[in-house]
Amino acid sequence: MGFLDNSGDIILDAVLTDVGRKRMAEGNFRIVKFGLGDDEIDYSLYNADHPSGSAYFDLEILQSPVMEAATKQASSIKYGLLSITRTDLVYMPVLELNQKSGVDSVLKHNNIILLAANKATYTTLAQDANIGASKVLEPNTLTPSSKVIIESGITSADRQPTRENRDNMLVSTNLVDLQFDVRFDSRFMAGLISVQPRQDQSFANNTDGSRRITLTAFARKSAVSATQFMDNYVTAMADGLEDLVLQYTTAETDETGTNLSQLAGPRGGMTALSFAPSTEINAQGTASPSYYSLYGSTGVVGTSLGFASTDSFDYIDTTVYVQGLTTGASIQLPIRIVRQQA
Amino acid sequence: MPINYEVINPNTDVATTKTLLHEVIPLTGTIVSGTYGTFPDDDNVKNYSHGMFQSVYDYPYLSSSANHIFDLTIGYDESSGFYNTSNTQNTKKTNMYNQFSQVLLGYTGSANRVRLFESDLTLNEDNSMKEVFFVNLSRLLTKDQIKKGSVSITLGTASYGSPFGGTVTYTDANATENAGTLNTVGGDYGILLDTANNLTGGVVFYQAGVMALTASAFSGTAGLPADFYDGLSLADVMTGSAITASADAFRHRLYNLQFNNTTEINSAVYFCRASHNKFNYSNNPTYLSSSAIRVKNLNRDNAPVSYITTIGLYNSQNELLAVAKLSEPLRKDPTNELTLRVRLDY
CA distance A254 to A184: 35
CA distance A33 to A77: 14
Q: Is A25 on the interface with B (CB under 8 A)?
A: no
Chain A residues with CB-CB distance to B341 below 8 A? 12
Query: Is B142 a member of any domain?
Result: yes
- Residue-number span of the structural domain to which B285 is assigned: 275-345
CA distance B58 to B45: 9
Q: Which of B212, B243, B263 is the last residue of a domain?
A: B263
Give the per-residue pLDDT at A102: 83
Of A9-13, A111-115, A233-237, B331-335, the least confident: A9-13
Shared-domain flag, residues B55 and B148: yes
Q: Which of B215, B241, B263 is the last residue of a domain?
A: B263
CA distance A244 to A154: 13
Query: Is B133 a member of any domain?
Result: yes
A183-197 confidence digits (pLDDT tens): 999 999 999 999 999
Distance from CA of A257 to the nearest CA of B (A): 18
Count of domains forming chain B = 2
Query: Is B74 a member of any domain?
Result: yes
Distance from CA of A59 to the nearest CA of B (A): 11
CA distance B185 to A330: 62
The whole-number average pLDDT for the span A238-249 is 95
SS3 state of residue A50: coil
Query: Is B5 a member of any domain?
Result: no
Phi, psi of A143 (to 5 degrees): -130, 60
User: Which B positions 251-270 lie with beta carbon below 8 A of chain A?
Assistant: 270
> A34 pLDDT exceeds 70?
yes
Shared-domain flag, residues B203 and B323: no
Closest residue of chain A to B344, computed from CA coordinates: A14
Structure confidence at residue A7 as a pLDDT band (50, 70, 90): low
Query: Is B268 a member of any domain?
Result: no
Model confidence, pTM? 0.80
Structure confidence at residue A5 as a pLDDT band (50, 70, 90): low
Q: Is A91 on the interface with B (CB under 8 A)?
A: yes
Distance from CA of B221 to the nearest CA of A (A): 53
The whole-number average pLDDT for the span A237-245 is 96
Q: Do B295 and A43 touch (CB under 8 A)?
A: yes
Distance from CA of B13 to the nearest CA of A (A): 10
User: DSSP string spanning B281-338?
Assistant: EE--GGGEETTEEGGGTT-TTSPP-EEEEEEEEE-TT--EEEEEEEEEEEEE-TT--E
Q: Which of B236, B263, B290 is the last residue of a domain?
A: B263
Nearest Cα to Cα of residue A276 among A335, A229, A217, A202: A335
Shared-domain flag, residues B175 and B212: yes
Shared-domain flag, residues B25 and B92: yes
ipTM of this complex: 0.88
Q: Do A35 and B312 touch (CB under 8 A)?
A: yes
Query: Is B16 a member of any domain?
Result: no
User: Which A positions 143-182 lie with beta carbon below 8 A of chain B?
Assistant: 153-156, 158
Give the per-residue pLDDT at B212: 97
Shared-domain flag, residues B285 and B252: no
> B100 pLDDT exceeds 90?
yes
SS3 state of residue A75: helix
Chain A residues with CB-CB distance to B338 below 8 A? none
Give the per-residue pLDDT at A70: 84
Shared-domain flag, residues B150 and B282: no
Shared-domain flag, residues B259 and B300: no
Shared-domain flag, residues B159 and B249: yes
CA distance A80 to A62: 17
User: DSSP string spanning B210-255?
Assistant: EEEEEGGGG-TTT---SS-BTTB-HHHHHHHS-HHHHHHHHHHHEE
The whole-number average pLDDT for the span A154-183 is 95
Closest residue of chain B to A62, computed from CA coordinates: B329
Q: Phi/psi zone of residue B198: left (φ > 0), alpha (ψ -120 to 50 degrees), beta?
A: left
- Residue B83 has a CB neighbour count (10 Å cut-off) of 17
Q: Do A14 and B322 touch (CB under 8 A)?
A: yes
Structure confidence at residue A9 as a pLDDT band (50, 70, 90): low
Averaged pLDDT of chain B: 94
SS3 state of residue A320: strand
Q: Do A79 and B284 touch (CB under 8 A)?
A: yes
Shared-domain flag, residues B252 and B291: no
Report which of residues A272 and A229 the model is more confident about: A272
DSSP H or E stretch at residue A41 = none
Averaged pLDDT of chain A: 92
B263-291 confidence digits (pLDDT tens): 999 999 999 999 999 999 999 999 999 99
Of A167-171, B1-5, B83-87, B215-219, the least confident: B1-5
B146-168 confidence digits (pLDDT tens): 999 999 999 999 999 999 999 99
Share of chain B above pLDDT 70, in %: 100
Shared-domain flag, residues B202 and B76: yes
Q: Do B290 and A156 touch (CB under 8 A)?
A: yes
Q: Do B284 and A38 touch (CB under 8 A)?
A: yes
Chain A residues with CB-CB distance to B323 below 8 A? 14-15, 17, 69-70, 73, 76-77
B179-192 confidence digits (pLDDT tens): 999 999 999 999 99
Shared-domain flag, residues B67 and B41: yes
> A233 pLDDT exceeds 70?
yes
Distance from CA of B284 to the nearest CA of A (A): 6
Query: Is B339 a member of any domain?
Result: yes
User: Which B positions 272-301 lie with beta carbon below 8 A of chain A?
Assistant: 272, 274, 277-301
Query: What separation in angstroms does the CA of B326 have from each of A62, A73, A108, A333, B172?
Result: 12, 17, 41, 32, 43
Query: Is B8 a member of any domain?
Result: no
Q: At what angle do helices B243-253 and B90-104 cross, to 10 degrees?
A: 70
Q: Which of A15, A16, A43 to substitute to test the interface with B, most B CBs within 10 Å?
A: A43
Shared-domain flag, residues B240 and B320: no
Share of chain A above pLDDT 70, in %: 96
Give the per-residue pLDDT at A312: 96
Chain B residues with CB-CB distance to A69 below 8 A? 310, 323-325
Closest CB to B313 among A11, A34, A229: A34
Interface size between A and B, measured as CB pairs under 8 A: 291
Helices and strands in chain A, H and E counts: 5, 19
Q: Is A331 on the interface with B (CB under 8 A)?
A: no
Q: Do A32 and B289 touch (CB under 8 A)?
A: no
Q: Is A46 on the interface with B (CB under 8 A)?
A: yes
AA letter at B164: F
Chain A residues with CB-CB distance to B343 below 8 A? 12, 14
The whole-number average pLDDT for the span A92-103 is 93
